[in-house]
Amino acid sequence: MTRSSYYYLTRAENENLATNGAAMLAAAGVCGGAATAGRPVNLIELGAGDGTKTVTLLNAIRDGSSGKDCGGGASPVTYVPIDISWGAMRSLYAAVEGTTGGLSPVRVHGYVADYFDALDTLRDAGWTHGLGGSASDNSPGATLPHNVVVYLGSTVGNVTGAELVSFLAAIRARLNDGDHLLLGYDLLQTPAKHLATYPADRTVGDLFEAILNRMRRELDADISDGALDVEVVFDEADGAVLGRFVSTRDHVLAVGRGARRRDFPLRSGERIHVLLCRKFKRDGMAAAASEAGFELQQTWTDATGRFADSLFRAV
């Protein structure tokens, strides 16, 4: 879906990173500067996927286009992609190597795990909080590192309104004072514009068909052809695109293998919620981040003002 011509989010953020990525790095204190003088730097990406969203930033570090010296005597930068998928991590390493030619002077240390499990492990090992040592590199035991957590692609739009502050607070709790969060999110527009990005019969239809096929393949789901339709609506109260399967008739959805197989009776018109894509106002995101323990530093958008990447400082 993200590669569809209808889905502008990926293209808009890529444009923003290409145009403003160097400024983002400089503002976050990556590659030297007052915030990181003499300290190792960790660029930690949550939900890195195949790394395509971050290659532009990594190239800016490699090329020194952020206006800071990333080589020589400057503190090393370690890119820490975190993703739950081994397959995505393998693709990321291949993409990063192929695109950046080895990323010198950036080191790559991937982690396959849940976001917060990975952040906790990195903290306990001394990667993000140090162990009070005097080492000048990014190995455990180094002096207090400067951490920049990157969460791109409007993945934060999959977090419900009730969970947003607690989610951001959970990130803040795992950072040092003065660390940064670079957060990408889709800006709120008219319902018609957002629904045009998720047409039920095309972009979202392909996504939902992929979900059904995966349920059949991995869960032995017994789903009759035509038993489920696709519905996409915009919830103006929550500022969110919602995608659902809608039962077209009374039937039973059987899922699972062996002793774990379960039957789920569905009546005609019943819905299964499978997609949440929240949209945000800039001041609303700033308020949520402030409540979570962050201070807004700066926001950049693409040329049309549809997508934002905001830099927050942990306070």
Pairwise CA distance, residues 315 & 210, whole Å: 42
* 241 shares a domain with 207: yes
Same domain, 105 and 215: no
Statement to judge: residues 223 and 286 lie in one domain: no
Residue 79 counted as domain residue: yes
Rounded to two decimals, the pTM is: 0.87
Q: Domain check: are 91 and 208 in the same one?
A: no
Instruction: With H, G, I as helix, E, B as strand and everything else as coil, classify residue 19.
Output: helix
Q: Would you say residue 220 lies in a domain?
A: yes
Is residue 3 in a domain?
no
Does residue 273 lie in a domain region? yes
Q: How many Cβ atoms from other residues are within 10 Å of residue 127's Cβ?
A: 25
Q: Which of 38-47, 81-90, 101-110 has the weakest average pLDDT?
A: 101-110
Range in 11-20, 58-67, 262-271 with the lowest mean pLDDT: 58-67
Identify whether residues 89 and 181 lie together within a single domain.
yes
In a domain, 32, yes or no: yes
Residues 6 or more apart in contact with residue 277 via CB below 8 angstroms = 154, 157, 158, 186, 194, 198, 240, 241, 243
How far apart are alpha carbons 144 and 314 in whole angstroms? Answer: 15
Res 291: pLDDT? 97
Which domain range does residue 228 map to? Answer: 191-278
101-119 pLDDT, tens per residue?
555 567 888 899 999 999 9
Number of domains in the chain: 2
177 and 291 part of one domain: yes
CB 137 within 8 A of CB 40: yes
CA distance between the termini of the chain? 37
User: Is residue 82 in a domain?
Assistant: yes
Task: Find, among 307, 279, 294, 280, the residue nearest to 18 by Cα.
Answer: 307
pLDDT tens track for 244-286: 999 999 999 999 988 899 999 999 999 999 889 999 999 999 9
Residue 2 included in any domain: no
Q: What CATH number is associated with residue 85?
A: 3.40.50.150
22 and 95 in a single domain? The answer is: yes
